[in-house]
Amino acid sequence: MKENIKIFVIALIIGMAIAFFLSFKFQDDVALAINPEVTYFYVGSYNRLEDANQKAASYPHSVIYQNGSIYQIVIGTYHDTEVIALMSSYFHDQNISFYQETMKVDSSFLKDISTYELLIKSSDASYYESVNTSMLQLFREYMSQNF
């Protein structure tokens, strides 16, 4: 009987060690699978596409996203909470008034933008615009393929 308990305890410890190791190795993939959504910043909502196009001309590289019957001018899409805070501060510094909403996306899109989010977290604010432009291009491509 004591041997069975010893074997059970050893197996339990080995299982816990493997689970601990795997949780760190696949932590990002699990987070992407559990919460596949992004926060997008937009500067206005319009009922007519012509009005949205006129407003979008004021924001280079912006994307017009059709949310139901409303057209929104998207200026950024982010997943990481730290990046959301950094870009929020950046847009406020640029005197841009914006709104935030969340959107469900594929985990593949989250993987694509994660590299750019690392760049935002590790770079100076002077590089945010060029990195954000690349992220908006990915968003544009994602929207054309999935909607």
pLDDT tens for residues 99-136?
Answer: 999 999 988 899 899 999 999 999 998 999 999 999 99
| 79: Cα separation from own chain's centroid | 2
Domain identity same for 112 and 70:
yes
Domain identity same for 99 and 28:
no
State yes or no: pLDDT of 12 exceeds 80. no
pTM score: 0.75
Tokens 């730290």, residue located:
82
Domain identity same for 30 and 41:
no
Range of the domain at 2: 1-34
Q: How many Å apart are CA 85 and CA 90, to the nearest integer?
A: 9
Domain identity same for 27 and 86:
no
Q: Given pLDDT bands bounded at 50, 70 and 90, which one contains residue 26?
A: low
User: Which candidate, 37, 66, 43, 47, places its Cα nearest to that of 140?
Assistant: 66
What is the number of domains present in the chain? 2
* Higher pLDDT among residues 88 and 11, named by residue: 88
- Residue 32 is predicted with a pLDDT of 47
Q: Is 21 helix (H, G, I), strand (E, B) or coil?
A: helix
Domain identity same for 27 and 43:
no
What is the per-residue pLDDT across 48-96, written as a single tens digit (0 to 9) for each? Answer: 999 999 999 999 899 999 988 999 999 999 999 999 999 999 999 999 9
